[in-house]
Amino acid sequence: MRHDKETINLGNTITYLTGRFRDGLRAIPGSPLRLLLAVLFWLAAALMIHAAADNIVARLLQPLAWILAGLLFLTVVTATAIPPGTLRMANACRRIGLVNDCGEAPLLIKRYHKEDKIMVDLFTQGISPTTIQDNLAELEAAANCRIVRVEQGASRNIIRLTLAPGDAQLPEKVNLPRLTIALSEIAMGASYDGPVITDLNKMPHWLMGGATGSGKTTLLVVFVQQCLMKVTATGEQAVDVYIIDLKGGQDYPPHWRNRDCSFCVTAEDALSVLGGLVTELERRLKLFSDASERFGVPCSTLDDYNHLCSGAPLRRNVIVIDELAEITDTTGMDKPHKELAAAVVGKLATIARLGRSVGINLIIGVQRADANTVPGQIKSNISGRVCGVADDTLSRIILGNGDADTLIPKHGRGLFLNQDGVMFRGYLPMEVPRPKAPNNKEGGTNEHPNP
């Protein structure tokens, strides 16, 4: 067994060093200094070997001298391609037990800057991104850095980390800034490496969770506010928002209710609205299919359709459900109410399954961590996940792991983790000027809530 481990270690070491030699060679033509040093090295080697060949013995040893020169060149090129901090990172991984079954830790392949971000590529040696994600807090402490993102690299044996300095801090509060983003994009918050922005064409449905006071509803408000601000080039509203809140909708600005948004506070209203949206979904599927046949090109997103049929553009429909458990938890309900809840869930499942391409999106908020909070036929079609302060059960319902429980402080209101393991501070709603109110009889003014 020991011999097998040593053989595997040797094989991985050779693979790693071969890769570094290859990277070192590739770097020579792109660097005038490296190219000059390489040319000088081989000129010096040639002159020394030629000068020493003044007898038959030296001439016989010339091939060996060239081999030694080649080995020296290989060693220097390989050494210059090993990033600084490789040993420090490997030792940090070993200290927390982040090694494979043969005791090998990930090794640095490359460290570089991309825009204002520090990027690190690791030779995994059989360690998966999920394993690193599960040991994130320990690795950050051991390496004294903030790991902003963990993702698969260019090949399966490479993991890419986005880093921030160990003393980096997220802002305590940050209002939604005015960003120049596409109609299909939504800004959620500020991470260590900039704004967290999602594209509803690529990540159409979202599951957002968090305990009471985690800031989940504020994040939903920010999401809706941006949707309502989306306008086309001709100044027309680009998004229709439907809010389903069986808690009464007290957390949303009053002027949204059935004026800026369609608002549902009963299961009956929700079923009626969702039924209409499923009918619209089926109509759009037919429109997209007809457009694809007519123009001879794929029509797979709302943007594709609106580009092809610019004379009759379609609005994006965003459905926001605040606390899904108010619908799915049928404990204590009689049969008619259970059937009503099942019908609502069925409509949501259809939209989750088919709504992506036609621009009908689900944004679902979850606070209560019950086993049946998010039905499987809905959850399996939701790829976007965000979780704030949560216990282990809720974190696993939302993210599929316990990271929100272990990585977000219990007092971390407004802090969130997404499905990629990126921690960010959720934006606060953009400040909108209060409308001026007429003076009352006493000479004062009537106060209006800040929208």
CATH classification code of 83-168:
3.30.980.10
CB 125 within 8 A of CB 104: yes
The pLDDT of residue 439: 47
The pLDDT of residue 25: 92
Residue 222, Cβ neighbours under 10 Å: how many?
A: 22
Please give the C-alpha separations between residue 426 and each of 147, 177, 220, in angstroms, as whole numbers.
18, 12, 10
The pLDDT of residue 133: 84
CA distance between the termini of the chain: 68
* Domain layout of the chain by residue ranges: 1-82, 83-168, 185-426
Cα gap 49→53, rounded to integer Å: 6
User: Angle at CA 191, nearest 5°, toward 190 and 195?
Assistant: 50
Q: What is the mean pLDDT of each run of 10 residues along the chain (451 residues)?
A: 74 90 91 92 87 70 86 93 91 91 90 82 89 87 87 88 84 90 94 91 94 92 94 90 91 87 93 96 95 91 91 94 89 90 95 95 87 84 94 91 90 92 92 50 36 32
> Under CATH, what is the fold of the domain 185-426?
Rossmann fold (3.40.50)
Cα gap 304→38, rounded to integer Å: 52
The pLDDT of residue 356: 92
Cα gap 448→165, rounded to integer Å: 44
Report the SS3 class of residue 316: strand
Cα gap 339→329, rounded to integer Å: 12
The pLDDT of residue 282: 96
pTM of the model: 0.78
